[in-house]
Amino acid sequence: MRILITGGAGFIGSHLAERLVAEGHSVAVLDDLSTGRRENLAALEGRNDFSFTEGSILDTALVDQMVAGADAIFHLAAAVGVKLIMDEPSRSILTNINGTENVLRAAIPGRKLTFVASTSEVYGKATKFPFSEDDDLTIGATKNLRWSYACAKTLDEFLTLAYVREVGLPAVILRFFNTTGPRQTGRYGMVLPNFVQNALRGEPLLVHGTGEQSRCFGHVKDVVEALVRLMETPAAQGQVFNVANDQEVTIRSLAEQVIAATGSKSEIRLVPYDSVYPAGFEDMARRLPDVSKLERTIGFRPRRPLSEIIADIVAEKRALMAGAAA
């Protein structure tokens, strides 16, 4: 199968590209390298079954051309990360909405199998746990631009499902939670790689707020396994799935586990939100997914323990630091 991955030089996309090529598929990556890195694809460079194009999902002619040459599309390109969303909300809104429209519109003529990345952010301020795919969504006030990403991805979902109903587009919506692992950077506020890097340097681990907010961290290899199985499961088409691990941990506990895993003498330092983000910033106190629908549909759910995820990131960061020092 010929598969296009938008955002394929990014964290999840590069792991997915490697897996698909290993399974015998031909993969084309479209990425503007604004957040992705070409070196993430180093293992695939020079292969006949892989190609890379530097370009934007906002370039309609380019998107049309690349979608036309594909049998299936994983649309992962997006403006992501809380820091980026707060610093450049207009970029996040326009990239996510217009880029997704370009991909979906190009996929319609050939009824291309299309996977659209969404996010746990769409659950917003919901207080019913765990989050289930059919739950009502509760988003904060528009004056708080922190919620603009959630709204943009919600519109992406509505548009995708509209095309499923109106023209029979075979599409699947992927609600990612906190996916992490090797190749993820802390550049846009991704918490676990930042914690590991600071711990290895002996620097303070900066925990925003009280540290009692909780998240569920899934290993990228588990997430990729779920994506491949969804691609191979026709019953998944037209559906929304939480793609996540459901093992919950507070951010303070995460910091403590990173310090223990690295043997670091770093301290944990609590940082008020208003010293990092604009006044009025609101965080999601808890993100706990219900992954039973995913498991029923594909017979799999992300399960790798947090200790393994931390160990993999620590090993990667140590290797990078050793290489830089050589």
Query: Which residues are designated catalytic?
Result: 149
- The pair of three-digit structure tokens given for residue 144, joined into one six-digit string: 């708080």
For residues 77 and 57, is the Cβ–Cβ distance under 8 A?
yes
CA angle 267, 210, 277 (to 5 degrees): 95
For residues 106 and 65, is the Cβ–Cβ distance under 8 A?
no
192: left (phi over 0), alpha (psi -120 to 50) or beta: alpha
DSSP letter for each residue of 11-24: HHHHHHHHHHHHTT
H/E stretch holding 5 reads strand 2-6
For residues 151 and 157, is the Cβ–Cβ distance under 8 A?
no
Pick from 106, 111, 104, 98: nearest CA to 56 = 98
C-alpha separations of 86 from 93, 138, 321 in Å: 11, 19, 30
CA angle 97, 78, 142 (to 5 degrees): 55
DSSP letter for each residue of 227-281: HHHHHT-GGGTT-EEEES---EEEHHHHHHHHHHHHT--PPEEEE-GGGTS-TT-
